[in-house]
Amino acid sequence: MSRDAARAGRPHAQQVLVTGCGVVSPLGRSLQDFDDALFAGLSAIEARSLALPGMDAIDLGVAACDFDPAVIRSSSRLPLDRGTAMALAAAEDAAEQAGLPKAVLDSERFGVFWGSGIGGSASFDAAAAGLYGEHRRMRPTTVLTVMPNAAVAEIALRFGARGSAIGYACACASSAVAIGEGLRAIRAGWIDVALVGGHEAMLTPGLMSAWHAMRVLAPVAASQEQARAACRPFSADRSGFALGEGAAAFVLESSAHAHARGAEADALLSGYATNCDARHISNPDAAGQSRAMAAALRDAGLRPEDIGHLNAHGTATTAGDAAEASSIEAVFGRAVPVSATKAIHGHLMGAGGAVELLATLRALAHRRLPPIAHLQVPDAGFGIDFVRGEARPAPALRHAMSNSFAFGGTNAVLVASRVD
């Protein structure tokens, strides 16, 4: 018996509450805007044209945030990368909601765990374009704005978190892993409070053309109407994803710490597992995904039938959705209703796990399941229960799962539960 299996059903010594959340997303920055789009299945994806010397002109779908990084002030007073600014904004909102600014914290028991696939990609793309194209030299602060842990460092600096400040880079699973590792650090007793989440802001010419070259993006005609429905997870006619940007942050807190300071929470992070397919650099592996979901269930002390909602990774690529439909079926059969929110907010890469955990938490809070937008005809080969059309009421919902599966083979699965 594995150690995981031995632990099944045994409660962790320390429950970990979600006492605050914040988001900068293509669906909006307020939870109200986020909910409105999420439950109505309203897509923020738009067509964008890109033409650069040396490449064919392309049209692609992007889900951008209505966000001005200049309104965010870094504690370091360095120029902020667009993604780092989003990270700080989300972290500030999460800390505000949790009441952290006023709380008396032991700074050495307060950590930051943050994910990003590439880090300061907007800054590096701009700096490189300036150097090669316009012969402008690099600035003294380029390294500090580009480094993958730039956002981690700014968040730790802003909130005086001295327990730890660790960045996680595992492509599309980055922020899910960061959140899970924060959970583990609190459970293990290393810290009491963690600011966790992730960001990604790579809607730059260099990164967009790199993604386009990989042939994983949904083809988009210049019409905005067509672009909005470009990403169709689990659909028979799916054709890939749209690039998104944004950040989401959560305050995780041991129940003892939260209760001692009178903090309220309506959800707890109840389970997490991560593993690696170790089979192929980019092709997903259903067996690895199933193992990760099963391990997350054991970590949460739950059975498959306890999960009332699953927010799938759902990238709308041919191979990705086929593997995930198969892995979900292997663990749950048709028993779990499945959403896939990339259809409306795009693929936020390193921030995807965090934004999709937020969608999962909103479903738990409202006991409503977000529909998979634009899903008219599901792929006939998929034997799972898709939430289609309108949001589905789920009055008995208590536990929900969010999947993140990454290039490189990293799988990360989070389980969240209602407190009541």
Partner 1 sequence: MTSTFDTVAEILQKDFHIEPAQLRPGMSLGELALDSLEMMEFVFALEDRFGQRIPEDRLDPGELGLSLERLCQVIDALREEPVKPLRRAA
Nearer to partner 1 (CB atom), residue 141 or residue 255: 141
- Please, which residue, 122 or 312, has the CB nearer to partner 1? 122
Judged by beta carbon, residue 38 or residue 89, the one nearer partner 1 is 89
Of residues 79 and 408, the one with the C-beta less far from partner 1: 79
| Separation CA 262–CA 197 (nearest Å) | 23
Q: Check residue 79 for interaction with partner 1 (CB under 8 A).
A: yes
| Under rule CB under 8 A, residue 14 binds partner 1 | no
Angle (CA) 94-116-243 rounded to 5° is 100
Q: Which residues are catalytic?
A: 172, 313, 347
Question: Is residue 70 a contact residue for partner 1 (CB under 8 A)?
Answer: yes
The number of residues that bind partner 1 (CB under 8 A) is 12
Tell me the closest approach of the beta carbon of residue 179 to partner 1, in angstroms.
31
CA atoms within 13 A on the CB side of 45: 35
> From the CB of 78, what's the least distance to partner 1, in Å?
7
How far apart are alpha carbons 179 and 325 in whole angstroms? 24
Tokens of 109: 């028991």
- Least Å from the CB of residue 143 to partner 1: 10
Helix (H/G/I), strand (E/B), else coil: 46: strand
Task: Check binding of 184 to partner 1 (CB under 8 A).
Answer: no
129 or 276, CB closer to partner 1?
129
- In angstroms, rounded to a whole number, what is the distance separating the alpha carbons of residues 20 and 266? 10
CA distance 406 to 380: 25
Locate 290 and state its tokens: 């199933």
Distance in angstroms (rounded) separating the CA atoms of residues 106 and 190: 12
Provide the mask over 131-150, with x wherever binding to partner 1 is found by CB under 8 A and - wherever it is not: ----xxx-xxx--x------
Supply the minimum distance, in Å, between the C-beta of residue 96 and partner 1.
Answer: 20
Cβ of 256: how many Cβ atoms within 10 Å? 13
Smallest distance from partner 1 to CB 142, Å: 10
Q: Rounded distance, CA 105 to CA 109, Å?
A: 8
Q: What are the percentages of helix, strand and coil residues in the chain, rounded to 5? A: 40, 25, 40
Place of tokens 């952290």: 100
Pick from 8, 78, 276, 419 the residue near partner 1 by CB under 8 A: 78
73 is an interface residue for partner 1 by CB under 8 A:
yes
Q: Is 259 in the site for partner 1 (CB under 8 A)?
A: no
Shorter beta-carbon distance to partner 1: residue 144 or 230: 144
Side-chain half-sphere of 276: how many Cα atoms within 13 Å?
11
Residue 215 found at the interface with partner 1 (CB under 8 A): no
3-state secondary structure of 22: strand
Q: Which stretch binds partner 1 (CB under 8 A): 71-79, 189-197, 233-241, 285-293?
A: 71-79
What is the distance between the alpha carbons of residues 392 and 369, in angstroms, rounded to a whole number?
Answer: 5
For the CB of residue 139, give the shortest distance to partner 1 in the complex, in Å: 5
Residue ranges binding partner 1 (CB under 8 A): 70, 73, 77-79, 135-137, 139-141, 144
